A and B are shown apart, each in its own frame.
Chain A
């Protein structure tokens, strides 16, 4: 069906096609990514599990998990939300549905290719920029630029006067992540070496999270929460404070990832102040969303999408508290390089960000398919598997990280730390597997929604019908 639309005239493609293809792709990659995560966790808990072949070696699978989740699930969910929120907020149609479909097509092809190469060990050996630079050029010019053009043109052709905060985030973040990837890949393309390379690797890694994954997720929440609750956003101004603070304070502290490397000390001082200032956008965001919920808190229990969304927003509180302070010189020496950071990264990606996107994907797919969710029970099952699995993962890795930190400063022989961490590695695997199971349920539920969900009449929202028969 995708093939048919790729070469159709733009006007003949039904509105929402791009959203639907993006949506299902993202859920598919989420299943793949979390499945790989669960597999990797099993290998950490039981190292003799599958051995003897490099295809299933941990070192070949780990980066595939990370990039499948970031570029596949999270970024595609972003693409999906951009395809339906941007026009909705501009009171217009998507600039080009066809371009959107080409984007999703190239994205899936490019990502599959990149991940297969990574799996085979063809890598650039740089964290979060593991994809070799030709693939990165595909990501930039085949994915981000077309996506950007679509979003920017839709915003420029909007029929409202103001630009809603969500669209500010969408438009700016696509631009910024393109710049980030270009700069981040420059060491490979221009063969920059040494500390410059190390610093640019983490400049890229930090900004990928800071200028793409967290802000776009927040932008999504600015749409879903008011839409689902019917309350207007508490304050558009605080939203803007959030937006500009993200650009100013999230783009600067990259060097706090390398506190122990021989970088210039002034850069580290600069970065750790900026790192704490990340709390400014965080406070603005959380306060804004939670105040918007005023009077509608019952929806947190009753409505599936709100449940996902608010969970994500609540997880942003510990996320930013950790993120703001763990990078200062005072705390970094204890937690750096330990499982604490792994827990923190999953809190950002699997916790805050994924929950917000899951809500938007649930909502958007029902909206665009004009069908009610196939089974609310399965939806709730997904939510509880997701949140319980995530909490098991997060808590166990945090404890493991604290053990590791203590082992580090008290000069405990490393193998004793490994032994002490073993129970938490098993817990991590159990948690990850629960998330994976939940996602399989989700994919089934969404597939059935597309095929058999009750049709939603014109003028109604799918979530309004949740409890109607």
Chain B
């Protein structure tokens, strides 16, 4: 009889915890699976790629190997005009596909059938790259958005799409969200307007199906700053964003957001070196009243991290 308390105890703990896990983990798994991807959900997963944060293809979490979002106003193959312009997601050769392409069941009923059927996403190949768009179709009498593999359906190739779009219509959304994660923006900003009160100030809360295929969701829990799920709908000025990231107090004197001037890298868009120390000195003179205007904010280089971050904010957070 002696010395058996720990055996019974271990079994008891296991049973109790197992039961609790059954309710809280197994219980809702069906509900999660039933979410049908919305346009937002499809746009998110196609523009963000396989996963943000540490992964095999991006071990230093610098935003490499992510898809590129382009706005096309011409057909890359035929050159015919497209009106209104369409958003396309360019996966260069070797870029890992977003989860829904390989695991179609993540797309949800309806979207899955259309994407694999008329969308032909099954024929996309990681080694040669692909260009995807989100198209509208009909399933069982209801309108659904689905993924179209335009490389198969219209012959758009990644290179052609990037060339047609040009730099001004290219948005480094996947890299931008990566910067959002590594720089810890989500420690203060949330991506989850609350269902009860927030929507008048911060816009609509996200819907079921807005997240399918997104990882990490980075809702944030500790709000020291405004919710930014729809920030681009409130303020879509690239100039404002640029100044605000360089030093938020240039445009909002009471802000407590850190300066993200280090995201500019070493040089600006024209290849001129950026001297942050000199800038700060001039800015301090401006604060002291010795200058009328604050110093100019350098224009970010094409491959700078802040360019990608602003791209993501202005493209995804509408």
Contacts and interface: CB of A to CB of B under 8 A. Distances in A.
Interface in B1-46: 2-3, 5-6, 9-10, 12-14, 16-17, 20-21, 23-25, 27-29, 31-32, 35, 41, 45
B32 A408 contact: no
A156 to B, nearest CB: 6
Contacts of A461: none
Interface in B284-304: none
A204 to B, nearest CB: 11
Given A57-B258, A163-B5, A425-B256, A195 B208 contact: yes
Nearest to A49: B258
Task: Give the interface centre of B2, B21, B225, B252 by most chain A CB atoms within 10 Å.
Answer: B21
Nearest to A196: B32
Interface string A97-137: 00000000000000000000000111111110000110000
Contacts of A259: 194-195
Interface residues of B, number: 89
- Among B53, B193, B208, B221: residue with most chain A CB under 10 A: B221
A176 B17 contact: yes
B120 interface: no
A457 interface: no
Residue in A47, A175, A187, A254 with the greatest tally of chain B CB atoms within 10 Å = A47
A419 B181 contact: no
Given A336-B194, A338-B223, A133 B54 contact: yes
Contacts of B255: 47, 415, 418
B311 to A, nearest CB: 18
A201 interface: yes
A270 interface: yes
Given A52-B277, A60-B183, A201-B217, 20 more contacts: A57-B262, A127-B221, A133-B54, A171-B9, A171-B10, A176-B17, A188-B53, A195-B217, A201-B216, A251-B17, A252-B24, A254-B24, A267-B28, A333-B196, A337-B220, A338-B223, A341-B221, A341-B222, A418-B255, A419-B254
25 contacts: A52-B259, A57-B258, A58-B187, A62-B187, A63-B187, A121-B61, A121-B183, A122-B60, A127-B220, A175-B14, A176-B17, A193-B106, A197-B216, A199-B28, A244-B12, A260-B205, A262-B206, A263-B28, A267-B28, A339-B224, A342-B222, A408-B194, A408-B201, A414-B226, A422-B256
Interface of A: 43-45, 47-48, 51-54, 57-60, 62-63, 120-127, 132-133, 152, 155-156, 161-163, 168, 171-172, 175-176, 179, 183, 187-188, 191-199, 201, 203, 244, 247-248, 251-252, 254-255, 257-264, 267, 270-271, 333, 336-339, 341-342, 404, 408-409, 411, 414-415, 418-419, 422, 425
Interface of B: 2-3, 5-6, 9-10, 12-14, 16-17, 20-21, 23-25, 27-29, 31-32, 35, 41, 45, 50-54, 59-61, 99, 106, 181-188, 190, 192-198, 200-201, 205-208, 210-226, 248-249, 252, 254-263, 276-277, 280
Nearest 5 pairs of A and B residues by beta carbon: A59-B184, A121-B182, A125-B181, A194-B211, A132-B54
